């Protein structure tokens, strides 16, 4: 654990089972094991990723978490929450009971074998940007130098967007 509290933005999604109940349960488990949930967006029903995938629709939301844990410790706790909720990692982009991604951890930039913060595809995915905009429109991406609001505006202006 580190001393100062950290502000973390998470993306949560589910496309198997009782999606809404799984998202609620994930938030409860994060509250009990990872920190304080300071804000939660509404839920968004979205197409699966990648576009055209033959699987159920997703429910997505974003959450702001305040934590004392390091990025690595937090990731371990997130993976435990996913496991408790039945997440099976068979292949990339497979249907899942729960998916929890760290989008931002304060203004840190981490590129390691196990962690990529900020999440590398934030600006390309409406199912991340729309809910994140609800709770953190003025947060500035530490690498791109753009706010979430600016990233969402640019995404919406793209003629061939895919999500």
Q: Which of 93, 87, 99 is nearest to 128 (CA)?
A: 99
Check 19, 77, 87, 125 and give the catalytic one.
Answer: 87
> Is 107 one of the catalytic residues?
no
Check 54, 96, 156, 161 and give the catalytic one.
Answer: 96
Check 19, 77, 99, 125 and give the catalytic one.
Answer: 99
DSSP letter, residue 122: G
Calculate ∠ Cα 19-25-27, nearest 5°. 105
Cα 25 to Cα 59, 66, 127, 150, 162: the distances in Å are 14, 18, 20, 31, 29
Task: Determine phi and psi for 12, rounding to 5 degrees.
Answer: -120, 140
Check 19, 77, 101, 125 and give the catalytic one.
Answer: 101
> Is 138 one of the catalytic residues?
no
Instruction: Supply the residues annotated as catalytic.
Output: 87, 96, 99, 101
């Amino acid at each position: 654990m580190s001393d100062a509290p950290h502000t973390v933005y998470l993306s949560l999604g589910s496309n198997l089972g009782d999606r809404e109940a799984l998202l609620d349960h994930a938030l409860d488990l994060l509250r009990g094991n990872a920190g304080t949930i300071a804000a939660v967006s509404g839920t968004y029903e979205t197409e699966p990723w990648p576009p055209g995938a033959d699987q159920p629709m997703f429910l997505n939301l974003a959450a702001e978490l305040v934590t004392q844990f390091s990025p690595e410790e937090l990731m371990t706790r997130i993976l435990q929450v996913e496991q408790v909720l039945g997440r099976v990692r068979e292949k990339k982009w497979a249907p899942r009971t729960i998916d929890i991604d760290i989008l931002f951890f304060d203004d840190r930039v981490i590129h390691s074998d196990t962690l990529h913060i900020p999440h590398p595809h934030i600006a390309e995915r409406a199912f991340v940007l729309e809910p994140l905009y609800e709770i953190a429109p003025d947060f500035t991406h530490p690498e791109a130098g753009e706010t979430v609001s600016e990233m969402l505006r640019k995404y919406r202006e793209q003629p061939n967007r895919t999500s």
